[in-house]
Amino acid sequence: MNCGNGIDTRQVDELYINLDPIQAGGRLTPDAMKAVLAYGDGYSVCDHCTKPFRLDCISKPPLAQFHKDLAEFMHMDVARLVPGARRGFQAVADVAIRPDDPVLLTVYSHYTEFLAVEQAGGRAFEVPADDAGIITADAVASRIEDVIRITGRKPAILFVEQVDYQYGNLHPVAGISKVAHQYDIPVLCNGAYTVGIMEVDGKELGADFLVGSGHKSMAAPAPSGVLATTGEWAEKVFKTTGIKGDITGRTFGVKEIEMMGCTLMGVTSMGMMASFPHVRERVKRYGDEVKHSNLIVDALLSIEGTKVLSEYPRRHTLTRMNTVNSFDTVAKTHKKKGYFLTSALLERGITGILAGSTKVWKYNSYGLTDDQARYVADSFVDIAKKEGLPCVS
């Protein structure tokens, strides 16, 4: 089976348990699959687009309602679909940062946050993590003071990840926002690993902006995401056009400048919207996901020499391990070298960990059933025992 032009049919999540750190939360629901087939054509959501001619105003399919539902789901005032979390950062950076402005990020910020700051001409200052790998409100306070001392100005905005991509640690955003707001610094909370995974309340977090990723965490096709904000900031970040052509005198109605008018015009918005009712339900079962995450990490820790680099016990499903003193000792003499582990996992129907990893590696257990989680946990121990690694039970 192939799709022509050298494209093989992809069968990963159909055939394997996929622990890929960035793929687990974006796996489509069956309803999203159907929407993808039905709305694959370009501009397919535009059949019934009428005045005022904007994506978030379309009522058939019910995109207008979906935008309202998303804002409510995130506990924010206004939401817009964006082509990936990164485009949300970009829109915010463009209105909140002037050239040479100092901007606060963290040592765990994603490269797309840095690039958004760079495009807006900002200067990057990072908040360090504490020994436990957590970005604390105290560290934010002292870094704000640093920035003021160094540049003579307060940061234009603070970017903070609710759960970071390096360790999958959960950071105390509510406390962090409180500190930033004491200095009148707006806060962008990066929910790329949380919105659509766990219940996220933007108001409670004190977020001026809350950004989610459709393809990372909302069971949606790429590129998709959501930018939500407060009524106050909506006026700036969703400002409508005022430009006029000098010959034609044309103006462009209520198109939003930062959104380039319309954003997700087909398969992306429809996939995201079809998954949404499932996503809204699944965040309530986050406790089970955390249970599975800890079940697997505990199995790994029973293999002598294995360390967990993420916070422990786990509060998220993305986890970073150090197996230098366990699996990597096997790799030194194994005929498959470093590939023995991912190859042994593949033989057991498990994929998604970077091929050849035996030292420091990440996995994401999101979306596994009870049986699958137990199976993954047992498989790691089984592989270790087969290779003669001592395990404590």
Ligand X SMILES: *Cc1c(COP(=O)(O)O)cnc(C)c1O
Q: Which residues bind ligand X (CB under 6 A)?
A: 22, 84-86, 110, 112, 161, 165, 190, 192-193, 213, 215-216, 225
**Amino acid at the residue 86:** R
Three-state secondary structure call for residue 104:
strand
- Least CB distance from residue 219 to ligand X, whole Å? 13
**Amino acid at the residue 13:** D
Nearer to ligand X, 54 or 215 (CB): 215
Ramachandran angles phi, psi of 225, nearest 5°? -175, -175
DSSP bridge partners of 212: 226
- Least CB distance from residue 89 to ligand X, whole Å? 7
Nearer to ligand X, 156 or 192 (CB): 192
- Least CB distance from residue 87 to ligand X, whole Å? 7
- Least CB distance from residue 97 to ligand X, whole Å? 17
CA diameter of the chain: 79
Contacts of residue 272, defined as CB under 8 A and 6 or more positions apart, other chains included, come to 32, 81, 214, 218, 219, 220, 221, 224, 264
What's the N-to-C CA distance of the chain in angstroms?
A: 45
How many Cα atoms within 13 Å fall on the side-chain side of residue 289? Answer: 21
Nearer to ligand X, 319 or 379 (CB): 319
Nearer to ligand X, 26 or 155 (CB): 26
Question: E strands, 92-224, where?
Answer: 102-106, 123-127, 158-161, 187-190, 209-213
- Least CB distance from residue 384 to ligand X, whole Å? 29
Nearer to ligand X, 84 or 186 (CB): 84
